[in-house]
């Protein structure tokens, strides 16, 4: 599946330049207001020209965006792609027959060439007398020369290529509603792999031509819709009922089928997700909540999406969007649509069908959607990202396992040395809605709309050489803040700082690599010294030093222990009946060594789960660095 990994990188790069389109939609909407009646027609004219200008220069934006996306945001690659587009446009304009126009496909090709050339030759060394052209300057030189040759070839190839695109477009349109049905299914299926941007780019930006009143040529369903083409919008209209009504209905079904004790948090999480989907059309948070738990439901969802495309075609509904099929785009672009009012009753009907279908399926087949088990719930990330990022980095296998970290709107797109080192359970506990391994070390992790901020925090961590120690869960049970331990000595952090757990099974394992410093005679507590000098105390239960026959040690003082190694086993029945509380603190007794703390969500954990706590040490000369 390595080719899927390569496509995911290209798909992310192709999506980057489309981020400017909402600005064009807003400008065109502003331009459509009755400025003439208000006595200031210049405002409408300026806004309209500005919005149309973005679509006119869309091939240039694709060239720069794809180059930046493939070169890890290297400015030299973007500049090389822009120069290549200028060269292409000048050569074809002067030596062509007037029918060759810059196209998004050309922009993507030159952007890909610039990005790949940068990755291959950015560090090239030439002989000393030619070294001025070495390094990243060599990229500009190569792409510039390539663009000349490419433009000359396109003088002959472009007309043939355009004929091919016209044939494909004609074939697709000849299928009518059935063609849109197939497109809708394929679009939904590719969402699961993060490759839908590649499909959409063909239909939204390349198929179909329209000559504007000013004489310029625009291509693709999306630019043609905004240019006023009366035949455009069919490849976008059917998405509005799905994004605005069907997927939010799934979110409500998940909330209503959640356990009563988990329902408040699930309600908060999925109410937010449904509003995000309704207003902006960002749907992955909801779709990944059932994609892995019930893939057959996702197939039904894909077919229903295709039927929505077919239905809007039959009813001659044409509507479009700059970003996605949410309510914001629905309202902004309504003035350009045709029969778009019918999308509302269609959407309501779809919402009712989806809600009834998913509630029945979740209950009938006992689908473990969030809230029906101690699974992943998309947590509120606001303010928590800097604290969660070290734990996410560790769950990804540590910074030594990461080759490249990128992000799109809702997911991290990673290239790793070994995808087997990724702890999927830890990622789920940290708020991931889904993890997809595409092969070749290419991985996607869905974190919702905070993915870009998470990427930035991970990038900061990878640039710093931190003295960091990571702790796995010492027991299976529920993690809790140390302040909630029903013992004033631990709760007030008089012994040290850390976290606590309520165990569900009678096994205590080592949370770190280190050496056993102390094993109390009653074996109810143990102290471990890490290689970095941290002293860790784990105390099983509160007021348990007098419980006889409850604890059995499997190590002794002086032993070297590894993460996950069994330290002490204990009788849960005796502990429950004799302890003041089951709360088991895990604290660092010399917290003055710690610079910052990070904690996983306070929820259920498995024994040995990495990582539930991470600390960064002050700069000092001690031991090695935990990785």
Read out DSSP for 505-527? SSEEE-SSSEEEEEE-TTSSEEE
Catalytic residue among 29, 152, 277, 408: 408
Q: Element (H or E) spanning 551, and its range? A: strand 551-553
Instruction: Catalogue the E-assigned strands of 417-496.
Output: 434-439, 442-446, 468-471, 477-481
Pair of tokens at residue 419: 């995808």
Pair of tokens at residue 267: 């309600």
Rounded-to-integer distance, Cα 179 and Cα 313, Å = 10
Task: Name the one residue in this structure whose structure tokens are 């899927």.
Answer: 4
Please list, in sequence order, all residues whose beta carbon lies within 8 angstroms of the beta carbon of residue 437, skipping any fewer than 6 positions away: 419, 422, 443
First to last CA, the chain: 29
Residue (of 411, 398, 516, 527) closest to 468 by Cα position: 398
Residue (of 503, 546, 502, 509) closest to 526 by Cα position: 509
β-bridge pairing 551-553 and 594-599: unpaired
Catalytic site includes residue 277:
no
Indicate the burial class of 571 (C-beta count within 10 angstroms; 0-12, 13-18, 19 or more): middle
Q: At what angle do helices 75-95 and 104-121 cross, to 10 degrees?
A: 140
Task: Name the one residue in this structure whose structure tokens are 């992310």.
Answer: 12
- Three-state DSSP state, 321: coil
Considering just the CA atoms, what is the radius of gyration of the chain in Å?
29
The answer to whether the CB of 550 falls within 8 A of the CB of 544 is: yes
Would you please indicate which residues are annotated as catalytic (active-site) residues? 408
């Amino acid at each position: 599946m390595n080719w899927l990994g390569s496509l995911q990188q290209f798909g992310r790069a192709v999506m980057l330049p489309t981020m400017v389109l909402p600005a064009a939609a807003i400008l065109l909407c502003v331009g459509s207001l009755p400025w003439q009646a208000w006595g200031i027609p210049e405002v409408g004219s300026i806004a309209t020209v500005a919005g149309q200008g973005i679509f006119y220069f869309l091939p240039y934006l694709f060239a720069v965006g794809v180059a930046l996306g493939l070169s890890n945001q290297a400015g030299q690659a973007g500049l090389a792609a822009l120069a290549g587009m200028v060269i292409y446009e000048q050569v074809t304009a002067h030596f062509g027959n007037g029918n060759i126009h810059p196209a998004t496909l050309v922009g993507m090709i030159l952007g890909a060439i610039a990005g790949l050339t940068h990755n291959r030759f950015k560090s090239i060394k030439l002989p000393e007398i030619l070294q001025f052209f070495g390094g990243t300057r060599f990229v500009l030189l190569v792409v510039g020369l390539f663009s000349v040759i490419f433009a000359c070839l396109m003088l002959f190839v472009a007309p043939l290529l355009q004929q091919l695109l016209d044939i494909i477009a004609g074939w697709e349109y000849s299928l009518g509603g059935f063609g849109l049905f197939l497109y809708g299914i394929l679009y939904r299926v590719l969402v699961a792999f993060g490759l839908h941007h590649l499909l959409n780019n063909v239909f939204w930006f390349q198929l179909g031509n329209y000559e504007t009143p000013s004489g310029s040529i625009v291509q693709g369903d999306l630019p043609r819709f905004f240019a006023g083409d009366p035949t455009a919008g069919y490849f976008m209209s059917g998405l509005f009922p799905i994004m605005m009504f069907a997927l939010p209905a799934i979110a409500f079904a998940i909330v209503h089928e959640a356990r009563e004790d988990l329902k408040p948090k699930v309600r908060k999480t999925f109410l937010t997700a449904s509003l995000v989907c309704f207003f902006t059309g960002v749907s992955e948070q909801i779709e990944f909540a059932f994609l892995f738990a019930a893939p057959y439901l996702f197939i039904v969802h894909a077919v229903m999406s295709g039927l929505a495309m077919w239905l809007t075609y039959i009813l001659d509904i044409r509507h479009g969007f700059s970003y996605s099929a949410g309510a914001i785009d629905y309202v902004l672009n309504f003035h350009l649509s045709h029969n778009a009012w019918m999308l509302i009753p269609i959407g309501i009907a779809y919402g009712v069908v989806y809600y009834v279908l998913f509630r029945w399926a979740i209950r009938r087949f006992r689908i473990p959607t969030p809230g029906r088990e101690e699974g992943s719930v998309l947590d509120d990330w606001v303010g928590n990202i800097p604290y969660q990022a070290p734990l996410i980095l560790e769950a990804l296998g540590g910074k030594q396992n990461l080759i490249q970290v990128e992000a799109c709107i809702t997911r991290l797109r990673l290239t790793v040395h070994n995808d087997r080192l990724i702890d999927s359970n830890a990622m789920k506990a940290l708020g991931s809605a889904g993890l997809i391994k595409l092969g070749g070390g290419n991985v996607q992790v869905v974190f919702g709309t905070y993915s870009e901020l998470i990427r930035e925090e991970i990038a900061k961590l990878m640039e710093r050489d931190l003295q960091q120690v990571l702790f796995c869960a010492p027991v299976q049970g529920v993690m809790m803040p140390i302040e909630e331990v029903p013992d004033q000595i631990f709760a007030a952090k008089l012994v040290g700082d850390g976290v606590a757990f309520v165990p569900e099974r009678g096994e205590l394992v080592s949370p770190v690599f280190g050496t056993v410093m102390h094993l109390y005679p009653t074996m109810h507590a143990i102290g471990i010294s890490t290689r970095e000098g941290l002293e860790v105390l784990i105390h099983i239960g509160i007021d348990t030093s007098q419980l006889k026959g409850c604890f059995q040690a499997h190590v002794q003082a002086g032993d070297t222990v590894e993460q996950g190694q069994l330290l002490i086993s204990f009788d849960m029945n005796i502990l429950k009946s004799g302890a003041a509380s089951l709360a088991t603190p895990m604290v660092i007794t010399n917290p003055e060594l710690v610079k910052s703390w990070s904690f996983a969500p306070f929820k259920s954990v498995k024994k040995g789960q990495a990582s539930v706590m991470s600390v960064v040490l002050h700069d000092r000369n001690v031991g090695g660095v935990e990785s």
